[in-house]
Structure 1
Amino acid sequence: MTHPIRQLSGGLILALTATTALAADAYPAKPLRIIVNSAPGALLDATTRAVAQKMAEDLGQPVVVENLAGAAGMLGIRYVKGQKPDGYTILATANTLALGQATRQEPGYDLTRDFTGIGMMNRAPLLLVGFPAQPDKTLPQLLAHAKSTPVTMTYASAGVGTSTHMAAALMVHQAGIKMLHVPYKGNAGALPDVLGGRVNMIFDGANSSGPFVQEGKLRAFGVSSPRRLAAFPEIPTLAEQGLPNYSFFVYMGLVAPAGTPKPVIARLAQALKAAQASDAVRERFRKDSAEAGTMSADEFTEFLRQDLQRNLKVVADLGIPKE
C-alpha cells in the first residue's frame, strides 16, 4: 500500500519542479536593469551599453543601463547586493568588485557570499607609460633606478584600490622595489602630471594613452599582458623584461545577487555570449584593445574569488593601508 504522505510529497515535488521549469522558461518576462558602478561615459559604461543593446535583442526584452557611481564604485555594488535575486537587476563592474573588498575596511559586501558570476564581458591589458625625457628609457633601467634609490621614483594611479593602483602595486611587489604612490581621482586627472614629467609613470589603458605614445608625448615601458598587443607590437611585455610572472588585465563583467536561480544565470550568460559574437560589440572591443571573455558563469565566479585572494595577498604583503 502506498503511503498517502509519500504520495503527497511526490506530488508536491513534481509540482514545484514544474513551477520552477515554467518560471525559467518564462524568463525574462519584463525589462532588465544593468547597474553600472561608474560614471556615464567611462569605459565600463560604454562597454556595458554596447553589450546590453545586443543582449536585449537575444533576450527579447529591453535592457536598461543605469549608472550608480559613488564611493569609488561601492555604491552600485551595495545597491545590487540588496536587490531581489530574480535576474532583473544585475551589476556591471570591473576589477572594482574584488579590489573594493581587498582595500577597504568596510566595503559593505562580501564578494563570495553576496554575488554570483554571469560572465566576463571583456578584458584588456594596460600600458605602463611615462615622461619620455626622463633618464630611464627601458623598464629594466627604470626598475634598477627604483631599486638603487628607494621611494624616490613615483607612480600615479586613479586612486587607492583602483585597477591602475593594483597593476603598479603588483609590479612593485614582483620587482622587490619601493616606489612612492601618488593617487589621483581618476587616471584622467593623473595624466597631465605624467605628461609634464612631475610623476615618473602610470599604468593606463591603450585607448587613452596609446595616442600619446604614438605622438611621442609618452614613452611606453611595457604592456601588462603576457603577450604583446596587436595594436602596439613594438612594445614589450613586463613579463619579457625581467618580471616573468607578471600579468594584469582590467576586466569587465556581469554579476547577479547571490541566490539567483541557475536557469536564469544560464539564460543571461547565453545572452552575453550572443552579444560578444555580434559585429558591433567585437568592433567595440577591438578599438579598446580588449578581448571577449570566454568563461562560463561558474568559471567567472571562481575567477572573481581567486582575484580577491590575489589582491588580499598583495595588499597584505605591501602593507597597503585599508581605507
Structure 2
Amino acid sequence: YLTMAKMTEMGFTANTLVNMTEEEIDDLMKTLVEIYRMDLLLGERYGIKSAVRAEKKRLQDSLEMQRLELLSEAERKRIQEDQTTFAAAMTSEGTSKELRTNDPLIFPESTSADHAPMNINTCKDGLIIQNHNHGNLCGSGLIGIPEHSSESDERKMDTNKQKRRRSKEAGEDGEDRPREHPFIVTEPGELARGKKNGLDYLFDLYEQCGKFLLEVQRIAKERGEKCPTKVTNQVFRHAKHTGAVYINKPKMRHYVHCYALHCLDSEQSNHLRRIYKERGENVGAWRQACYYPLVAIARENNWDIEGVFNRNDKLKIWYVPT
C-alpha cells in the first residue's frame, strides 16, 4: 500500500503504468529504491510487473471482444441487407411482369368481335392495336414492333446473358450474391426433406474439399509444381472440373465458421442445431449464432484463432474467417 501511495504521489496512474514498457517499470522501481529509499521486496517488484501485465491483457481482451462484436454486427446487417435486396428484386420482377400482362396496348380490354386482337404472325409491319372508340384502324393504333423480336425481348436476352456471366464469375472469383439460403437447420443425423439439404450434407462438403485438396497436391507433385496447403481457388476449380459443381468458394467460405465449431466443439454445435430446429429458425440465424461460441474459444486461447485452426487436422486446410 505504501509503495502504491508513493507511486501515486510521484504522479503515476494506472493508465501510465499500463502504457510503460518493462524497462521503464524497472527504472521506476530503481528510482523508488535509490532516491526515495524504499525497501521493495523481491515479491513486490514481481507483483507490480504482474499486475501491469494482467491489466494490459484485460484491456486487450476487452478491445478484441468489442472488435469481434462489431464484426458480428456488421455481418448481421450485411445478411439483412442481402435478404432485403433479394426480396425487393423479386417483388420488382413480379410487379413488372404484372404490368406487362395488364398493359392495354398489348392486351386490349375489349374482347368483342370488333375489337378482337389480331394474329401477330399475319402482320408484317408491326402489331396493330385497335382503338376502343372506333372500329376502323387509325394511325395512333400502329406500334412499330419488328416481326421476329422486340426491344423488350432484346433487353431480356441481354439481361439473361449478364446474369449467366455474373453467375459464372461469382463461382470462380468468390463474389457473394444475394440469394436464398440453400440449406435448412437439421438435427445431427436427420435427413432433410424437400429441395433443400440439411447441415450434415453441408459439413460433408467440407470433408469432400479436403479430399479434393489431396488430389490437387498429388497432381502438383507429379508435375513438379508448388503444392497448396489450404483450400484455394485451385481446389475449387479442380472440384468443378471433376463434376462437383455444387462446391463453390462463396458457399464454403460463408459457412466455414459453422464447420469450425462442428470440429472444435461438436456438443455445442449439436446443441445449437437442436435449439434452432425447435424454434423453426432459418439457417441464416443459426449461422450467426455459431459465431459466439467461436469467440469464447478464441478468448480461451489468447485470441489466437489461427493457431486453433492450425492445431486441428480438419481445420488447418481452411483460412480463418474474418
TM category, shorter = under 0.3
After TM superposition, the score normalised by the length of structure 2 is 0.24
Structure with greater proportional helix content: 2
Bigger RCO of structures 1 and 2 (CA < 8 A, at least 6 apart): 1
